[in-house]
């Protein structure tokens, strides 16, 4: 069934919300043939994510418009991503609507148990009768699933160990055959224990090359090295080399994650992609009041059942413990953690992906 959808996105956390929304609309269009319009307040971010929306008519097309966009409601499904309230005129058109458009609230991802009981619920707005449906991504069959393109695993497995990977890494001056150096990627919030991290890697017994995208960890890098690296520049301290790389389009960022021995990720989009990479990772949830982010981290660690050294490192990375001893312990267990990450990715990959579940969710309600 070819359906028309409009996705509303107000960017809150730099690239994260835009990144999730672009993956979502791209998959709806490419794999399910939907005609999709993305209404976003910062459309300029999409180009940096590698977005090239098709604007021709017909199934599989994507159009992008700047917020608030058109007031038309000529769609079958209206998606409010991450609480994006429809602009007033569009919101008014939902009042008392019997069936269409189907209004869906696409919520943030969480591993907490309550997600399964809240997913799919509907709520009637008492003042005008508009009906909103809640769609919660998650980790089991009772939730909305996780974003994953149909051929993602096949592309990953074909890339890893290939000539293409070696040539791709060589563009960044990395010799994939250099077995005495491990590669880490860094994407984090400023309150990560970066000073302790750089110091621990610099004084360790193993050589590490940390790839850091532009605009990430600028203050911490300047504090440790006395300068902020320019694009392509490398800074060395002991066993640590920090190398600045550009902000990568989404497909290249996937390749980066697939190529690393350890990925530091944050928020939602890079967190999910790190899990699909089937490589060791350290996740930093978005900081919230009342230590809510600790609850979210704890819920995820209960699900993934990683070695306790990985648990301790993720807690320390979010400020709940001392990073240096946690890192020393994790470094000795990276191989075991890697095995668990591969099993975890395969287990999750056996489930239907978010877009497949979302399409079925909508068709049942239209």
CA 153, CA 345: separation in Å to the nearest integer?
A: 9
Catalytic residue among 76, 254, 268, 353: 268
- 348 and 275 Cβ atoms separated by less than 8 Å: yes
Cα radius of gyration (the chain): 21
Give the pairing type, strands 62-66 and 122-124: unpaired
CA 193, CA 218: separation in Å to the nearest integer?
A: 13
Query: What are the two backbone dihedrals, phi and then psi, of residue 6, each rounded to the nearest 5 degrees?
Result: -125, 130
Q: Helices (DSSP H) in 49-138: which residue ranges?
A: 88-93, 115-118
Catalytic residue among 17, 112, 269, 331: 17
Q: Helices (DSSP H) in 171-291: which residue ranges?
A: 194-202, 218-225, 250-259, 269-277
Distances (CA, A) of 361 to 15, 91, 222, 293, 348: 27, 22, 49, 28, 19
| Count of beta carbons in the 10 Å neighbourhood of residue 351 | 17
Is 47 considered catalytic here?
no
Residue 245 preceded by cis peptide, ω within 30:
no
Is 17 considered catalytic here?
yes
For 210-232, give the DSSP string.
Answer: EEEETTSSHHHHHHHHSSPPPTT
- 63 and 55 Cβ atoms separated by less than 8 Å: yes
Q: Which residues are catalytic?
A: 17, 268
């Amino acid at each position: 069934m070819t359906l028309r959808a409009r996705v509303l996105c107000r960017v809150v956390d730099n690239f994260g919300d835009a990144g999730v929304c672009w993956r979502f609309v791209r998959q709806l269009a490419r794999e399910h043939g939907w005609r999709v319009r993305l209404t976003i307040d910062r459309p300029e971010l999409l180009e940096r994510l590698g977005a090239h929306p098709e604007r021709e008519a017909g199934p599989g097309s994507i159009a992008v418009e700047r917020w608030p966009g058109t007031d038309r409601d000529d769609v079958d499904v209206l998606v409010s991503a991450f609480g994006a309230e429809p602009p007033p005129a569009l919101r008014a058109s939902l009042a008392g609507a019997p069936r269409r458009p189907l209004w869906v609230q696409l919520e943030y991802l969480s591993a907490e148990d309550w997600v399964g009981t809240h997913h799919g619920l509907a709520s009637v707005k008492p003042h005008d009768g508009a009906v909103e449906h809640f769609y919660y991504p998650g980790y089991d069959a009772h939730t909305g699933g996780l974003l994953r393109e149909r051929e993602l695993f096949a592309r990953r497995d074909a890339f890893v160990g290939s000539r293409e990977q070696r040539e791709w890494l060589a563009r960044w001056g990395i010799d994939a055959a250099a077995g005495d150096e491990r590669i880490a990627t860094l994407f984090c919030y400023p309150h990560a224990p970066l000073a302790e991290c750089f110091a621990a890697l610099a004084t360790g017994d193993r050589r590490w090359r940390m790839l850091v995208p532009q605009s990430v960890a600028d203050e911490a890098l300047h504090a440790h090295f006395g300068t902020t690296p320019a694009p392509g520049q490398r800074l060395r301290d002991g066993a640590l080399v920090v190398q600045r790389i550009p902000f990568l389009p989404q497909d290249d960022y996937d390749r980066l994650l697939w190529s690393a021995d350890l990925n530091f990720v944050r928020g939602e989009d890079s967190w999910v992609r790190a899990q699909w990479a089937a490589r060791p990772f350290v996740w930093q949830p978005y900081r919230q009041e009342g230590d809510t982010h600790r609850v979210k981290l704890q819920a995820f660690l209960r699900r993934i059942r990683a070695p306790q050294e990985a648990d301790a490192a993720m807690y320390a990375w979010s400020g709940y413990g001392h990073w240096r001893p946690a890192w020393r312990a994790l470094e000795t267990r990276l191989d075991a953690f890697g095995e668990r990450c591969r099993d975890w990715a395969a287990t999750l990959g056996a489930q239907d992906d978010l877009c497949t579940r979302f399409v079925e969710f909508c068709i049942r309600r239209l």
